[in-house]
Structure 1
Amino acid sequence: MTPSKIKLHREDGSLTLEYANGEHFTYSGEYLRVHSPSAEVRGHGKGQEVLQFGKKDVRVTAAKSAGNYALQITFSDGHDSGIYSWDYLRELADNYPEYWQRYLDALSAAGKFREADISTVKLMDPNASPQNK
């Protein structure tokens, strides 16, 4: 389904797709960025996906049509590869709760964070023997 209107919201870096039937979906820059269809994110095959983290403040800075079937989106972190087909954008909208939770679970399992300036540090026990440090 091809949207009838595309709106880039510069104030928060989100993107809204509106359809002739009145439906509309707004995507945050973070959601689109971490679900990019690019090889950088998806890898080159099953099991080669690369978990994106630290993307909470990433914004959509530009969107242009790629033929009649897709959008090429540019993000504030410089990422601009990957073509978002109309079908894929609709899939992202229709499956938002599941996809978002799966992403949050993957971050948690990897000890990663949405925020760019947070990392996990392992504290050492000062009483541990040198070989256990």
Structure 2
Amino acid sequence: MLPVILGHTPAGASTRQTIHYGQEVKSGYFRQYDYGSLENSLKYDSVDPPNYDLSKVSAPVALHYSNNDWLASPTDVDALESELPNVIGKFLVPLDQFNHIDYLWAIDAKTLVYDTAINIMTQY
């Protein structure tokens, strides 16, 4: 299974998207892409990129997370929840080993995540 996973990773992520994620980790802010001071000034009218205004998110949001996710820790999920105005629930995957890649590849992802997610979506 590992060759299949590695052959499809990072599927759906561009180089710029990966750089943007790194910028957010380094800065500690959830904000728009940092082009550098000069281009930021032209694009954003500020030397720093603006933070995303999550208070404007109007759709219901269900947060699914796991304790072993190296890209979205429970602390990150708590911070995100505090910024979003319409969180309908937080759902911890009940398996300590479950990590970020397991949302796609885990053999038990259907019972651990998908069934709950689909059930929630059918309510909206």
Q: Normalising by the residue count of structure 1, what TM-score does the alignment of the two structures yield?
A: 0.24
Structure showing greater Rg? 1
The structure in which a higher percent of residues are helix is 2
